[in-house]
Amino acid sequence: MKQYLPLGIRGVFDGVIENMHLHWKHRELVKLISKQKTLSFVEDMARLLEYKSGGVLVAIQRLSKGFALIYYRGKNYYRPISLRPRNLFTKAKALKRSIAM
- Note the pTM of the prediction, 2 decimals: 0.80
pLDDT at 57 over 90: yes
Best CA proximity match to 4, nearest among 25, 17, 20, 26? 20
Q: How far is CA 3 from CA 18, 38, 41, 49, 74, in A?
A: 16, 23, 23, 18, 19
Q: What is the pLDDT of residues 67-82, one digit of tens each?
A: 999 999 988 887 777 7
d(CA 67, CA 63): 5
| Per-residue confidence band for 1, with pLDDT thresholds at 50, 70 and 90 | low
Q: Which residue has the higher pLDDT, 62 or 80?
A: 62
Structural domains of the chain, ranges and CATH numbers in brackets: 5-74 (3.30.110.60)
Q: Which residue has the higher pLDDT, 54 or 92?
A: 54
pLDDT at 71 (0 to 100):
94
Best CA proximity match to 20, nearest among 65, 72, 95, 61? 72
Q: Distance from CA of residue 87 to its chain's centroid?
A: 15
